[in-house]
Amino acid sequence: MSFTVDLHSMFHLCRAALPHMIASGGGAIVNTRRNGTSIPRQTT
């Protein structure tokens, strides 16, 4: 579940920031994440 949450939150962040970045002439989005979120955990 954490991977899905991370993926969706990054998508929404980029979508919200993009109009402002275009209006200001550019920019960069730097995605930082914890190592634990890159490996999906299996639940039993």
pLDDT digits (tens, 9 = 90+) for 1-37: 566 777 788 889 899 999 999 999 999 988 776 655 5
Q: Contacts by 28-33 with C-beta closer than 8 Å and gap 24+?
A: 33/6
Tokens 């639940």 locate to 43
Count structural domains, the chain. 1
Q: What is the pLDDT of residue 36?
A: 55
Q: Is residue 8 part of a domain?
A: yes
CB 17 within 8 A of CB 30: no
Q: Is residue 14 part of a domain?
A: yes
Q: Is residue 44 part of a domain?
A: no
Q: What is the pLDDT of residue 15?
A: 93
Q: Is residue 43 part of a domain?
A: no
Q: Is residue 21 part of a domain?
A: yes
Residue 17 belongs to what domain range?
Answer: 2-38
